[in-house]
Structure 1
Amino acid sequence: MTTNTTDLWHHYGRTRAATDRTVPEAFHWTWSQDGGPGPEALGDLTGRVVGDLGSGAARHAAHLVVHHEPAQVIAVDVSPAQYEMATDLFGHLAPRLRIMPSDVVDHLHAMPDTYDVLYSVFGAVDFADPRELLPAASAALRPGGRLGFSTLAHYLSGAPAQPDVVAADIPAKTPDGEATTMRRWVLQEHVWTKVLDEAGFTDISTDVLPAAKGGQRTADTLLVTAFRPA
């Protein structure tokens, strides 16, 4: 049974956090986190207000704060466990890194005309209904602001992405380890383009980044950028 009331991200990233507390030296969009373009896909971040949507442990956000010169990066995640982990790992980067425990759509609705740049690396764009999240993101961007996100180009099983705005139920675990499911949106390029256009975005660009290696649970990455009209 799908549930949205418990923290389905409780276990995610805990093993790495126990041994790796460093700010990453690189920013990767790809599923494998080992190649492809870096934050240049977001443009010049100097002096910008940047939002990470579904930031998890905030490793990407921490990289931007340390290695680029944004005015502030706000890392937003609904998971209490991910918020606690991110705060423990990178809370020392405040106030330039602000870690927010919030539903991403609710947060965006509360922040109109705030952000210069929003991004998601297999984050909230994958796990929130795009018909709700993308209009909220457009409204939270300042005119001319940029959205960038990476998402699966196909399912991890190898099955093709959806030809319409349809979610699939994928396996997840509750904090006590019980099996459950969560919704994930894996959409074809033209579907993302359509739903972004309907949300008010323009200059929409998509690029498939092939997986560097084959094997089980590898995947191509779809990198998408779009702008709120100036």
Structure 2
Amino acid sequence: MTTTPPDLWHHYGRARSDSDRAVPPVFSWVWAQDAGPGAEVLGDVTGLVVADLGAGVARHAAHLVARHAPARVDAVDSSAAQHARARDLYGHLAPRLRAVHADAVDHLDAHPGSYDVLCSVFGSLDFTDPRRLLPAAARALRPGGLLVASTLGHYLGGAPAETDVRHAEVPVRTPDGTAATMRRWVLQEAVWTELLDGAGFTRIGVDRLPPAALGPRSADTLLLRARR
């Protein structure tokens, strides 16, 4: 007998989803969502098929659909609560925006050669073992396809990123309020580069984007780009 694991993203972003239902006017990759490069990093997505991995309530996906011209954006998230909020907030953008309730690796494995662009904004790349996710992403991209992802450049609070493929345990709450943990990968630039290369990506680039303002939870962002 198997049981469904608790939805560790059940509570995340609930208050904002209740008060802010607009399609975001901008697309930001940085941790604070207040500066830095935007959707132009993806290039011209006109007519392309895109997936946002770990899309949460699909705010970035909604921006792409509403303000650019992709053929479709799949907003993939394993959280039932986030998936439901995405459908509630942006269901009016269907069918060009498709909210997909699935584990990112499972979804990518089920759709080989299906995507022109994959993106992740502090999403699946942070919370899935990259030794599983990156090969699956490479298989799901069409030849020449693009992967762009943002992730933490160091731990919140300032501790340096890992020099090997090691995860941290992040405190969270289950839907009933019980304390729990989830895994997060915070890795140095060289580690990401090696992982991307090993997964079959080429033209790999990593940019470090400092925060626009310093604070107790500010952080550098690593912006990863690679081609299939």
Give TM class, smaller chain. over 0.9
Structure 2 CA distance, aligned partners of 1:203 and 1:147? 11
1:40: Cα distance to partner? 1.0
Asked if residue 62 in structure 1 is aligned to residue 62 in structure 2, the reply is yes
* In 2, Cα distance between equivalents of 1:215 and 1:38: 22
**CA shift for structure 1 position 215:** 1.2
172-181 or 102-111, larger mean C-alpha shift: 172-181
Deviation at 1:5, TM superposition (A): 1.5
Equivalent-residue separation in structure 2 for 1:211 and 1:156 (angstroms)? 12
Q: Which structure 2 residues correspond to residues 80-119 of structure 1 after superposition, within 5 A?
A: 80-119=80-119
- 1:180 deviates by 0.9
Partner of 1:13: 13
Aligned twin of 1:185: 185
- 1:138 aligns to what? 138
Q: Map residues 1-230 of structure 1 onto 2, 5 A cutoff.
A: 5-228=5-228
Local SS of the residue matching 1:137: helix
Deviation at 1:193, TM superposition (A): 0.1
Q: Which amino acid aligns with 1:16?
A: R
Q: Deviations over 1:14-59 (max 9, x none)?
A: 0101110000000000000000000111111000000000000000
Q: TM-score by structure 2 length? A: 0.98
Q: Deviations over 1:81-139 (max 9, x none)?
A: 00000000001100000000000000000000000000000000000000000000000
Give the letter aligned to residue 180 of structure 1: A
- Secondary structure at 1:138 match in 2: helix
Unaligned regions of 5+ residues in structure 1, if any? none
Separation of aligned partners in 2, 1:46 and 1:208: 27
> Identity, % of aligned pairs?
64
Residue segments in structure 2 that go unaligned for 5+ positions in a row: none
1:178: Cα distance to partner? 1.3
Letter in 2 for 1:154: H
How many residue pairs end up in the alignment? 225
Q: Secondary structure at the match of 1:46?
A: coil
Q: CA–CA distance in 1 between the matches of 2:29 and 2:211?
A: 11
3-state SS of 1:181 partner? strand
Task: Give 2:161's aligned amino acid.
Answer: A
CA distance in 2 between partners of 1:49 and 1:74 (Å): 8
Q: 2: CA distance between counterparts of 1:180 and 1:17?
A: 23
